[in-house]
Amino acid sequence: MSKISAPRSNREFIEACVQAGDAVRIKQEVDWENEAGAIVRRACELGAAAPFMEKIKDYPGFSYFGAPLSTYRRMAISLGMDPASSLPEIGKEYLKRTNSEPIAPVVIDRKDAPCKENILMGADVDLCKLPVPLVHDGDGGRYVGTWHAVVTKHPVRGDVNWGMYRQMMFDSRTMSGAVFPFSDLGKQLTEYYLPRGLSCPFATAIGLSPLAAMAACAPSPIPEPELVGMLSGEPARLVKCETNDLEVPADAEIIIEGEICPDYKVEEGPFGEYTGYRTSPRDFRVTFRVNCITYRNNATMTISNMGVPQDEGQLLRSFSLGLELEKLLRSQGIPVTGVYMHPRSTHHMMIVGVKPSYSGIAQQIGQLAFGSKLGPWFHMVMVVDDQTDIYNWDEVYHAFCTRCHPENGIHVYRNTTGTPLYPFATPQERKYSIGSKVVFDCLWPVDWDKVNDVPTLVSFKNVYPQDIQDRVLANWTAYGYPEVKK
């Protein structure tokens, strides 16, 4: 693999974003209560530069970095690519790196780990010493974890999991969070810790390198520490926790160590969610008791503000869910041309391009997609042919409206796994994570006669001879039209 020069820490990333004009330094004091959240939200809705807020009310010495990965430009920067890279180029690079050899992390000495510069233990532990923001007015609490990784380990198998599961501050030493039952941590808890009444050690790492954050929310089967290595082309630097055996990213800004309680639950939520709504109600959820906090000098807390498109939850999850599905479909020999999720679908619709080489291929794709680990996160799969540009919504929408037969082309699956956050789901479905799914088959049926039954697409590209197309393109400005930007 050629040398990758991706930012190795949140600090390097902020610097790279500032250099590229993709982050702004905000010098004036910002309030942790709503104001910081509102800045991040507006930046997301405008697709603007990421706010680096250097002065926070009540918290001298701390700063915020908001909307870290809510544009494709910042995603390209995080991968060490040209910020102007196109989405298909970024996707290709992600696939190349995540199909490479795993790179094992290294564990460094604690004296070399920046995240150990300040250590709070015992009576000093107080989450309120961190600038935990009230992200949206009306949220159930101040959210400690909005762009972070919760690190845990399966005690028998030893599997390490880094997952981004939101965490609300309940009191100075307690957090509560929404860990879905089908997530890796959810399964670890229900499979091992809860039935045994054992507490589960955890460490929350905040202010990660952007690729570590990307790994924490990627639905990849590769263990996240290796995945970070593959994405960045070098081993992730980890360091052992102070109060348990977990290892955390040494360059993270803040580490919160503790235990997940099997026998104690406090309320969590409501919270502004990636669907663009507050859907899940307040409820008693997974509860994290904090035993130790470590942080860098002048620590920067990262904030993702989920709401209407587009924020990094939508952008990055759409990106990685789509590409992981592409890998899965290719591994099954399905002749896909690509898979794309538009972030504005709030990662609810997969668009799959395929060579329609046999009957039922759209349903096969849908069944694989919905039956996979990725499945609970979306409920629509739209399958288009290999001539349709999956990244061009105009083409996809045209295919959908003209080729999807209302009776034969729409396939509904009932009683599947869903998320409690689906805004359209009934209250009962939300409560029990029950989903339903739909495949939109926008392929011409293979048993139609290609000459007499399949309609001809009437477009500039499709109906004119090549020499005419070339002539018209060559003369376009001579006809009096302005030049068309590619």
Partner 1 sequence: MNQWEVFVMDMAELAEGKDLALSIRTLNPGRHKYTYKHVRCQVSTDLDKHPDRLQVRMGRGQLSTAKFSIQVIEEIRRLPPQYA
Ligand X SMILES: Cc1cc2nc3c(=O)[nH]c(=O)nc-3n(C[C@H](O)[C@H](O)[C@H](O)COP(=O)(O)O)c2cc1C
In the complex, the residues that contact partner 1 under the rule CB under 8 A are 33, 58-59, 128-129, 134, 136-142, 169-172, 174, 199, 259, 261, 263-264, 266-267, 270, 278-279, 281-282, 289
Please count the helices (runs of H) and the strands (runs of E) in the chain: 14, 22
Name the binder of 361 from ligand X, partner 1, none, CB < 5-8 A by kind.
Answer: none
CA nearest neighbour of 229 among 92, 321, 100: 100
For ligand X, the closer CB: 11 or 148: 148
Distance CA(83)–CA(334), nearest Å, equals 32
Q: Is 244 in the site for ligand X (CB under 6 A)?
A: no
Report how far residue 100's alpha carbon sits from residue 147's, in angstroms, rounded to the nearest whole number.
26
> Is 202 a residue that touches ligand X (CB under 6 A)?
no
Question: What does 217 interact with, of ligand X, partner 1, none (CB < 5 to 8 A by kind)?
Answer: ligand X
Pairing of strands 23-26, 50-53: parallel
Which residue carries 């970095």 as its tokens? 65
Tell which one of 217, 299, 354, 368 touches ligand X (CB under 6 A): 217
Give the one residue of 8, 41, 142, 166 binding ligand X; rule: CB under 6 A.
166
Residue 4 gets which letter from DSSP?
Answer: P
Segment near ligand X (CB under 6 A); pick from 161-169, 241-249, 341-349, 431-439: 161-169
Contacting range for ligand X; rule: CB under 6 A; set: 216-224, 233-241, 277-285, 327-335: 216-224
The SS3 call for residue 178 is coil
By CB under 6 A, residue 165 contacts ligand X: yes
Task: Rank residues 217 and 250 by Cβ distance to ligand X and give the closer one.
Answer: 217
Q: Which is nearer to ligand X, 65 or 440 (CB)?
A: 65
Only one residue has tokens 């008693």, namely 284
Closest separation between CB of residue 33 and partner 1, Å?
7
Contacts to ligand X from residues 291-310, by CB under 6 A = 304, 306
Using DSSP's 3-state secondary structure scheme, residue 276 falls into coil
Q: Of partner 1, ligand X, none, which one does residue 136 interact with (CB within 5 to 8 Å by kind)?
A: partner 1
How far apart are alpha carbons 211 and 222 in whole angstroms?
A: 14
Q: Which does 449 bind (CB under 5 to 8 A by kind): partner 1, ligand X, none?
A: none
In the complex with partner 1, which residue's Cβ is closer, 279 or 310? Answer: 279
For residue 249, give the H/E element and its range. strand 247-249
Nearer to ligand X, 177 or 353 (CB): 177
**CB-CB neighbours of 57 under 10 Å:** 13
* Near ligand X by CB under 6 A: residue from 313, 338, 375, 418: 313
Task: Give the nearest residue (CB) to ligand X.
Answer: 184
Query: What DSSP assignment string belongs to 449-478?
Result: -TTTTSPPP-SHHHHS-HHHHHHHHHHTTT
d(CA 194, CA 263): 8
Work out whether the CA dihedral 321, 323, 327, 333 comes out positive or negative.
Answer: positive
Q: Does 185 bind ligand X (CB under 6 A)?
A: yes
Minimum Å distance from CB 406 to ligand X? Answer: 33
With CB under 6 A as the contact rule, which of the stretches 50-58, 122-130, 157-165, 436-444 interacts with ligand X? Answer: 157-165
Place of tokens 């929350």: 204
Distance CA 368, CA 313 (A): 23
First to last CA, the chain: 30
How far apart are alpha carbons 373 and 378 in whole angstroms? 11
Instruction: Give the residue with the Cβ less far from ligand X, 181 or 409.
Output: 181
Residues of this chain that interact with ligand X (CB under 6 A) are: 146-147, 161, 163-166, 177-180, 183-185, 217-219, 304, 306, 313, 316-317
